[in-house]
Each structure stands twice: as C-alpha cells, then as structure tokens.
Structure 1
Amino acid sequence: MIHHGGFIVKRPRFKFIGKLVDYFDNLDVDTISMFEIFAMVEKLGITYNVNVFWQLADKPIEVTQLKNDGDVMEMVSNLPRDHYVHLYLEAVVGFSEAEMDELGLGEPEMDEHGFGEPEMDEPELGEPRI
C-alpha cells in the first residue's frame, strides 16, 4: 500500500497528511529491491525525488526510511501475517536545478579534457623552426 501526495508529521505522533493511496499486489519478497520500489513510484506518475518510508500494518507508530536494499530486506524480514506494508512517499524538498544554477550551486564546469588535467599543446607540423 503506497501513500503519496502528502507529507509526514512525526509529532505528537506519526501521521501522514495526504489522501492518495495505491496498492501493488503479489510482489515477490525474494526479489524486491529499491529498484522495484522506485519502479512502482514511477508507475504512479511521480517524477520528483521522494524519500520512501515503511510501516508495518500492525505497528502504527513506527516508521522507518528505506535508503538501500538492506533496508528493504529488513522490511521483508518483518512482514506481519497479513503481509501488508504501508509505504509513505514524501517529496524531497530542496532547490530546483534552475535555482541551483542561478545561485551558482550546481556542479563545477569542466572542459572536455577533464578537471585538473593539464592541457598539452600539440606540435605543429610544417617547416622546422630555426
């Protein structure tokens, strides 16, 4: 079960503010990975960066962020009998690419020879110089 289109409030207790919920059934717990989770996010039409959090249906207060495949394996190893896991998608808040460029916060520009490499002048062919 994926909750999206909202944000997480952690105090005074966990709550997701958002009304969009989608279901993905019959997932193979032996092969599930972050790649598959982000493929599901993409199927929802979400094109912005998100943090993914998970919660077991029988533990409504605990929420844990999924950062890598090890976290996914931990989630799978804690599946309750009903096998329902709630995933919560929260947009990553930050500067847009255009804002970063405008502020000069983007990646350093590199010429075609690469960063830090000395440029060598090629010898000119032709008449020898005396």
Structure 2
Amino acid sequence: MTVQLNHTIVAAHDKKTSARFLADILGLEVSEPFGPFVPVEIPGGVTLDYAETPEDITPQHYAFLVSEDDFDTIFGRVRSAGLTYWADPFHHHPGEINHNDGGRGAYFDDPNGHNLEILTRPYGSGS
C-alpha cells in the first residue's frame, strides 16, 4: 500500500496574507487560488491550502524538515522579520534554537497563531 499526504487545510483569518507569510518565510511560491483555497505547495507535492474563516482558530502545529543550509536561510528570514522564536513547542525557551538529534530546530508563530517549526533532523534520528 502507498499512502502519501497530499494536502491539508489551514484555517486563517486572511488566507492570502497567511499563505504569503508561509511562502515568504520558507522561500516558496503561493499557487493560484483553487476554489475557496489559497495553496502553498511544499516540495514533495504536499500543499497547505489556506481557507478563510471568521471563527476563532484553534492553533495547529506544522513542522518542516529542511537542510542545514535551508535552516540558515529560513531562520535568517524569521529573525529579519522580527518574529519571536523558541527552542521548544511550548514556548518556554524564547530566543533560542534546539539541537535535538544532533540537528537544529526552532519554532515560531504564523499570523493566526499556528505553531510553525523548522528542523534539520527528524525526531528520533539520533545524533
């Protein structure tokens, strides 16, 4: 059996602004709107499809595995944007990155409060 994640819907108060935020931070492109969605395609064919809602948004967690070089570039964008970042998902260690499994990782929030993570080593991959 082959199972592959194809897309997920991300709730946003302003879908265009939120899609642009993610694309700009990760160095990606915002795709053309598809129905009520504004998609951002992640390498590998998965899209995050932003959908607008006036309702309260329950923050979700989205983690992006990146290379060491891409981490430097993306983390540079996070810092240049003046975003607060943390070493942990519970936001107990502000202004720090982690070195889990011999890699590097950082967490930061998007405009809707979704907890975004960049990491260079998958959890449990060892050091």
TM-score tier by shorter-chain length is under 0.3
The structure number with the bigger radius of gyration is 1
> Higher relative contact order at CA 8 Å, sep ≥6: structure 1 or structure 2?
1
After TM superposition, the score normalised by the length of structure 2 is 0.25
Greater strand share, 1 or 2?
2
